[in-house]
Amino acid sequence: MPKGKTGERPTLNGIETSGNYPVEYKFAHAKNGNRHLVVVFANFSAPDEYGWSNGVFDTLRSNVLWIRDLFDTKNSYYLCKGMDFSLENSVIALISNVMGSLGLTPNDVTMWGGSKGGSAALHFGLKYGFRNIVSVVPQFRIGTYVLSIPSVAEFMMGEVTDGNVGILDSILPDLVRQGANRGANIYMLSSPQDEQYADQIGPFLPLFDGYANFNFIFSESPLITGHTDVTRRNVPLLMGILNFLIDGLAPRLGFVRNGYEQPDVDKTGINNYLAATSKVQLSFPAPVVSVPTAGQQVPGGAVTFMGSAPGAERVSLWENGKFIASPDVAADGSWTWSPARPWGMGQHVVRLFAVNAAGQHSGRTEVAFDVVEGTLQPTFTMPSQGQHVQGPVVGFMGFAPGSVHVEFWERGVSLGVSGVAVDGSWGWDSGWAWNEGEHVVEAVAVDATGNKTSPAAVAFTVVNAYAEPAPQGYFSPRF
């Protein structure tokens, strides 16, 4: 038997050929051993002529049998072709064979459908004694209704006459008048906004007075503007009823009304409250990331985050939607975090927010940086290239992430060494007066294993300095 899918639930496709008319169907097995069968009849314009086959029944525990209403390319209300009701016999043969093969009885079955399918659910449920019937916006006067769909009228009646219209019109009302299956649990749904209600449903409701558990839900929702909206508005309610029936429980609702939405209600009050108590408070400053800086290149084993988050207890860091870490914030508002493992090569985007003592979140901050291999060449932030520096003392600052110290040289002569802070920053002051004029200082970063980078150079000019003897090993520039 070929397999298919109704929504995401695996289904089996088949054709029952024991009767005069082949009947196509889809079937889905019950979950976890459930002992119930839901038989689904199609509405007009159902996809591929299978009703409720859009995945809405995927979560049902029961067996599900979808019956296709397509005979010689036409719809039939599952009743007849040219007033030949052996088509109906072929449909009930399918239902009976599936039910029997499952070892179930009519007490374990729910007939289900909307519009055309609702009429079929009522017909088969009442006539053949099935325990549960859910009928949404059905047509009771079937013959009269199909006159508005000439192709269906001609298929069902052959010759469209008043007599044939009357026969089809009487099928459902006569079953109810005769008290067919009075013990059934029947759930019917309609709406005053359903243009068919006044002619197709309202006049026939009194016929159910003698039924033990007839339930009628009159949906007065402003979201309903016509026949096709009634089902759509009430899917959650209908699914609730169906799940009760599948579990062997038959709710008693009686005649009830629902659907008192107010789509245009003023939401100012609740919106103000939600904003005031929101977990994310935009008035709570987002954390600042000082290291790494945006677009910075850092070695994979030396990625350290530093920043500030005044008023926060901790900072929460995330990448690609996954939690990374939550470092505490110091009393002065500063925070730092160094991962235990190296980062993968390439670009990383880390998003973070601050959390205060009440558990409220700040707005979000993000920083993008690139992780590269090896130790990075140091950079100078002071002095800048070509800068004229007021002498006589010159201070140097910069970054060398992943390094432990930085060595300084001029014209091959060692000037000194500076340690590197955890955030990759370094600063060095020679302690002597520099001669006026142009200078080129080179910096070499050294990592924990002694690996050295190529030198980075900064050229600057010292002005208004006074000369002092150079330290041992230092050569005064020549002009």
Q: What is the tens place of the pLDDT at every residue in 153-167?
A: 999 999 999 999 999
DSSP for 312-340 reads -SEEEEEETTEEEE--B--TTSEEEE--S
- The pTM for the full model equals 0.69
Helices within 147-208 (DSSP H only): 150-157, 162-177
In this prediction, residue 9 carries a pLDDT of: 86
Gap between the Cα atoms of 343 and 347, Å rounded: 10
Asked if 8 and 17 count as a contact pair (C-beta separation under 8 A), the reply is: no
pLDDT over threshold 50, residue 441: yes
301 vs 437: CA distance, rounded Å: 40
Lowest model confidence (mean pLDDT) among 25-39, 128-142, 259-273, 437-451: 437-451
CA–CA dist 119, 138 (Å, integer): 5
Read off the pLDDT of residues 180-198 as tens digits, 9 standing for 90 and up.
999 999 999 999 999 999 9
Superfamily of domain 288-372: Immunoglobulins (2.60.40.10)
Residues 6+ apart with CB under 8 A from 286: 353, 354, 362, 363, 364, 365
Q: How confident is the model at residue 478 (pLDDT cuts 50, 70, 90)?
A: very low
**What pLDDT does 300 receive?**
65
- Model confidence at 3, pLDDT cuts 50, 70, 90, reads low
From the CA atom positions of the chain, what is the Rg in Å? 40
Yes or no: say if 14 and 35 are a contact pair by the CB < 8 Å rule: no
- Where helices occur in 102-234 by DSSP H, the ranges are 116-127, 142-146, 150-157, 162-177, 227-233
pLDDT in tens, 384-397: 999 999 989 999 99
Q: What is the sign of the dihedral through the CA atoms of 472, 477, 478 and 479? A: negative
pLDDT at 423: 77
Tell me whether strands 109-114 and 132-136 are parallel, antiparallel or unpaired: parallel
CA distance 246 to 62: 6
Mind listing the pLDDT tens digit for each residue in 283-292?
A: 999 999 988 8
For residue 232, the tally of other CB atoms under 10 A from its CB is: 10
Contact between residue 412 and residue 444 where contact means Cβ atoms under 8 Å apart = no
Task: Output 101 or 8, whichever has higher pLDDT.
Answer: 101
Question: At 352, is the secondary structure helix, strand, or coil?
Answer: strand
C-beta of residue 301 within 8 angstroms of C-beta of residue 379: no
Class of the domain covering 3-258: alpha beta
DSSP 229: H
Contact 352, 316 (CB under 8 A): yes
- Contacts (Cβ under 8 Å, ≥6 apart) of 26: 4, 6, 11, 12, 13, 14, 50, 53, 65, 66, 68
% of the chain exceeding 70 in pLDDT? 95
The yes/no answer on whether domain 379-463 falls in CATH 2.60.40.1220 is yes
The DSSP call for residue 204 is G
Q: Is the pLDDT of residue 470 over 70?
A: no
Does residue 227 contact residue 234 with C-beta atoms inside 8 Å? Answer: no
Closest CA to 168 of 136, 200, 194, 197: 200
Residue 7 confidence (pLDDT) = 53
Tokens for 339? 């991962």
Q: Identical fold at 3-258 and 379-463?
A: no
- Provide mean pLDDT across the span 396-400: 90
> pLDDT tens, 411-425?
999 999 999 987 788
- Band (443; pLDDT cuts 50, 70, 90): very high
Q: What angle do CA 238, 58, 136 make, to 5 degrees?
A: 25
**What local confidence, expressed as pLDDT, does residue 90 receive?**
98
The band of 472, judged by pLDDT with boundaries at 50, 70 and 90, is very low
Tell me, what's the pLDDT at 26? 97
Average pLDDT estimate for 298-319: 88
Instruction: Answer positive or negative: Cα dihedral of 448, 451, 453, 458.
Output: positive
Alpha-carbon distances of 142 from 147, 214, 250, rounded to whole Å:
9, 21, 28
Contact between 372 and 272 (Cβ < 8 Å): no
Average pLDDT, the chain: 92
Q: Helix %, strand %, coil % for the chain, to 5? A: 20, 35, 45
Domain locations in the chain as residue ranges: 3-258, 288-372, 379-463
Decide: helix, strand or coil at residue 4.
strand
Lowest mean pLDDT across 77-81, 119-123, 174-178, 346-350: 346-350
Pairing of the two strands 63-67 and 23-28: antiparallel
